[in-house]
């Protein structure tokens, strides 16, 4: 007797094969049968039946780039991703984790404050929400497992967090000694033994700690990286994920792939109109590395990188060198410096030089999203470039003066990268790219790209015809499982885990953005609603329906065993 029988579904197996109309049965959390319509299973052989009425059924989406490391300690549902059809997520990306962490208040405070800055999280929310019942990475995984989760989770061990555990605050100041590197290697080895999916790091200049110093992994010299490859090689386990910056071009990262013998995922290959060829050059380098037997993929995004921001947290400006002297200033102190003509001149000069960064100086890409003063409401949905032209002023002056006039409360929207759709289409279809970069759980006050998979199937497949739906499903499911070594998931196959997404290809996609105050300490986050989702199952239990997440079962598994 099957537990569940879904009939009259258009079945996408996750391998890119042509879909067919048929049935799928679930027993004990696993797929017990997949049948074509001409060989049906009688309804009497299932305890529960669901008529899909011609909707499409696919494996649940695997999201390889999330930052739920803190949130999972207080929120086992993670409903923003669950409602978007995600059934497996990988946390710890970029090396920003919360374990290992020493149990003293100063260590926890340092880790928390760094997360607040680098991943755009509310400090009050993290301080109120994180449940510190661990020190080691293994204890952290045990805590997640004991608390349960609505979806399956896997976790990277984080380079910056390991560095902080070993070196304290000095991790953001200097290279490590040989003795410190040896302790880091031991911690990474312990994490892999406990079930880490790999090691994550960053060298990008946009990743700064709470006080403006670099995140710790940016201070690692290349010899440290190569030493940290050894535990992965010895165990023949794990993926190395890195958000690359100038010190680690693809050629360097191929050295890590060779030294570790393990796959390397290179992020974040987002297209910039100022350096339009750079991501394609990176993919060419990755392609050449694969031809030499060093397995690599480039992490690409299906969504434009759109930030909501105000000058209470001016994330797009923080990577600029001219902003560093006033990094972290708030309120009246920040307003006073924003009035300074010398600061404005320095920012204008830096923005005049083409460079790949979150904000490149294209003022058409910044729009007014919300205003405080009623007399300014006519500016909503207009670009700073248009407003500045209308007023006959410099765009940077226009931006600063509007924010100052509203006591820094104006909400802006920046389309930072990935807005050239012709270029993005090439990234999505490249043979060496891997769909990634949702950032779910991070930058909560700025963006919500947790619905990246729905956007791929709706915008890029249905509306743009960039790839067939079966290929999009493959890239969201089995391609992810294969690269990361995730066992028995990502394909609709008898005996494999019943992680399922039931959707309508005619309507699937992301809805409009809104804001919610449902985080600890009443912190605000951006929320995007799913469209066209009719059901999500994790290990055979339904966790979402057409109205969103269902807060009942916690059927997810903490994944700790790898191929």
Instruction: List, for residues 277-313, the tens digit of each pLDDT value.
Output: 999 999 999 999 999 999 999 999 999 988 888 998 8
**Does a structural domain hold residue 288?**
yes
Q: Are strands 2-11 and 46-51 parallel, antiparallel or unpaired?
A: parallel
Mark whether 137 and 221 lie in a shared domain.
Answer: yes
Mark whether 112 and 147 lie in a shared domain.
Answer: yes
> Of 429, 126, 418, whose CA–CA distance to 272 is shortest?
418
Mark whether 375 and 287 lie in a shared domain.
Answer: no
Both tokens of residue 269?
């290959």
Q: Using CA atoms, how far apart are residues 292 and 33, in angstroms rounded to an integer?
A: 40
Alpha-carbon dihedral 360, 364, 370, 376, rounded to 10 degrees: 130
Mark whether 186 and 311 lie in a shared domain.
Answer: no
Instruction: State how far the alpha carbon of 487 is from the alpha carbons of 171, 257, 543, in Å.
Output: 35, 22, 21
Mark whether 288 and 324 lie in a shared domain.
Answer: no
Q: Using CA atoms, how far apart are residues 339 and 334, in angstroms rounded to an integer?
A: 9
User: pLDDT for 468-483, tens place per residue?
Assistant: 999 999 999 999 999 9
Confidence of residue 532 (pLDDT cuts 50, 70, 90): very high
Q: What is the pLDDT of residue 375?
A: 96
Mark whether 18 and 118 lie in a shared domain.
Answer: no
Instruction: State how far the alpha carbon of 327 is from the alpha carbons of 211, 417, 470, in Å.
Output: 7, 23, 47
Q: Is the pLDDT of residue 118 over 70?
A: no
CATH assignment of the domain containing 205: 3.20.20.140
Average pLDDT over residues 427-450: 90
Mark whether 342 and 300 lie in a shared domain.
Answer: no
Give the DSSP letter of residue 216: G
**Does a structural domain hold residue 517?**
no
Q: Using CA atoms, how far apart are residues 392 and 400, in angstroms rounded to an integer?
A: 15
User: pLDDT for 338-372, tens place per residue?
Assistant: 999 999 999 999 999 877 677 888 999 999 999 99
Both tokens of residue 70?
């803190």
Q: What is the pLDDT of residue 37?
A: 94
SS (H, E, C) 48-80: EEEECCCCEEEECEEECCECCCCHHHCCCCCHH
The overall average pLDDT reported for the chain is: 95
CA 450 to chain CA mean position, Å: 8
Mark whether 121 and 252 lie in a shared domain.
Answer: yes
272 and 240 in contact (C-beta within 8 Å)?
A: no
Q: Is the pLDDT of residue 452 over 90?
A: yes
9 and 56 in contact (C-beta within 8 Å)?
A: yes
Q: What is the pLDDT of residue 209?
A: 85
Number of domains in the chain: 3
Q: What is the pLDDT of residue 217?
A: 97
Mark whether 279 and 328 lie in a shared domain.
Answer: no
Q: Using CA atoms, how far apart are residues 129 and 519, in angstroms rounded to an integer?
A: 8
Share of the chain above pLDDT 90, in %: 85
**Does a structural domain hold residue 520?**
no
410 and 443 in contact (C-beta within 8 Å)?
A: no
């Amino acid at each position: 007797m099957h537990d569940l029988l879904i009939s009259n579904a258009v079945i996408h197996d996750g391998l890119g094969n042509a879909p067919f109309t048929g049935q799928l049965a679930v027993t004990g959390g696993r797929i017990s049968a997949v049948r074509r319509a001409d060989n049906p299973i009688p309804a009497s052989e299932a305890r529960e039946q669901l008529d899909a009425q011609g909707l499409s059924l696919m494996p649940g989406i695997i999201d390889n780039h999330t930052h739920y490391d803190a949130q999972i300690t207080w929120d086992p549902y993670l409903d923003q991703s669950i409602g978007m059809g995600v059934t497996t997520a990988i946390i710890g990306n970029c090396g920003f984790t919360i374990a290992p962490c020493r149990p003293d208040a100063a260590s926890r405070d340092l880790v928390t404050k760094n997360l607040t800055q680098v991943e755009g999280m509310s400090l009050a929310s993290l301080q109120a929400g994180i449940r510190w019942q661990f020190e080691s990475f293994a204890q952290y995984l045990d805590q997640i497992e004991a608390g349960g989760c609505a979806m399956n989770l896997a976790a990277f061990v984080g380079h910056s967090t390991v560095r902080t555990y070993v070196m304290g605050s000095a991790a953001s100041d200097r290279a490590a000694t040989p003795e410190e590197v040896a302790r880091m290697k031991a911690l990474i080895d312990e994490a892999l033994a406990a079930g880490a999916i790999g090691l994550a790091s960053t060298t990008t200049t946009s990743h700064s700690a709470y006080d403006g110093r670099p995140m710790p992994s940016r201070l690692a010299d290349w010899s440290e990286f190569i030493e940290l490859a050894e535990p992965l090689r010895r165990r023949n386990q794990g993926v190395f994920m890195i958000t690359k910056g100038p010190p680690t071009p693809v050629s360097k990262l191929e050295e890590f792939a060779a030294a570790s013998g393990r796959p390397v995922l290179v992020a974040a290959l987002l297209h910039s109109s100022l350096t339009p060829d750079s991501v394609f050059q990176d993919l060419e380098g990755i392609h050449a590395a694969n031809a030499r037997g060093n397995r690599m993929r480039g992490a690409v995004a299906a969504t434009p990188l759109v930030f909501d921001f105000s000058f209470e947290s001016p994330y797009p400006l923080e990577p600029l060198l001219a902003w560093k002297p006033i990094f972290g200033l708030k309120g009246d102190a920040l307003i006073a410096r924003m009035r300074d003509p010398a600061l404005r001149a320095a920012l204008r000069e830096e923005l005049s030089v083409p460079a790949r960064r979150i904000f490149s100086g294209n003022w058409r890409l910044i729009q007014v999203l919300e205003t405080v003063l009623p007399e300014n409401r006519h500016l909503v949905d207009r670009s700073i470039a248009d407003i500045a032209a209308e007023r006959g002023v410099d765009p940077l002056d226009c931006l600063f003066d509007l924010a100052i006039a509203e006591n820094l409360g104006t909400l802006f929207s920046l389309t930072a990268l990935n807005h050239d759709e012709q270029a993005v289409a090439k990234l999505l279809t490249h043979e060496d790219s891997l769909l990634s970069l949702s950032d779910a759980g991070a930058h909560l006050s700025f963006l919500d790209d947790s619905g990246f998979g729905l956007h791929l199937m709706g915008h890029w497949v249905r509306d743009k015809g960039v790839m067939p739906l079966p290929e999009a499903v493959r890239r969201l499911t089995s391609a992810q499982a294969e690269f990361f070594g995730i066992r028995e998931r990502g394909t609709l196959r008898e005996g494999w885990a019943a992680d399922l997404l039931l959707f309508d290809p005619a309507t699937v996609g992301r809805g409009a953005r809104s804001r919610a105050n449902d985080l600890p300490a009443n912190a605000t986050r951006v929320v995007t609603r799913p469209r066209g989702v009719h059901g999500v199952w994790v290990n055979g239990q339904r966790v979402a329906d057409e109205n969103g997440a269902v807060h009942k079962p916690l059927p997810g598994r903490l994944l700790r065993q790898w191929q």
